[in-house]
């Protein structure tokens, strides 16, 4: 599977760590509307594809409509980013 943004191959199971997500998350401003599209694409095409099998991923705009969130739960990664 290739990452649609970079064309680089990604490992569909297990190549993404909590540290990878932390670094990416801290580099973006999810409070701005244009950041939501970026977050959605990256989460769908890179993070979801790369987390270890057996994890659950939830993401989107919060109920107030002013911030993006990501929640991953499983044995290796169990964290919420807001």
Cβ-count burial of 54 within 10 angstroms (0-12 exposed, 13-18 middle, 19+ buried)? exposed
Supply the pLDDT for residue 73: 92
Supply the pLDDT for residue 11: 47
pLDDT (mean) for 24-51: 78
pTM: 0.72
Supply the pLDDT for residue 5: 44
Percent of the chain's residues with pLDDT above 70: 72
Structure tokens at 37: 């599209």
Of 49, 80, 50, 78, nearest to 62 (Cα)? 80
Considering the chain, what is the average pLDDT of its residues? 77
Question: pLDDT of 10-31, one tens digit each?
Answer: 445 567 899 999 998 888 765 6
């Amino acid at each position: 599977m290739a990452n649609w943004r970079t064309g680089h191959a990604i490992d569909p199971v297990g190549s993404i760590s909590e540290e990878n997500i932390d670094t990416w998350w801290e580099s973006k401003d999810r409070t701005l509307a244009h950041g939501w599209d970026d977050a959605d694409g990256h989460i769908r095409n890179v993070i979801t594809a790369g987390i270890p099998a057996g994890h659950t991923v939830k993401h989107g705009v919060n109920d107030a409509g002013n911030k993006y969130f990501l929640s991953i739960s499983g044995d290796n990664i169990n964290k919420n980013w807001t």
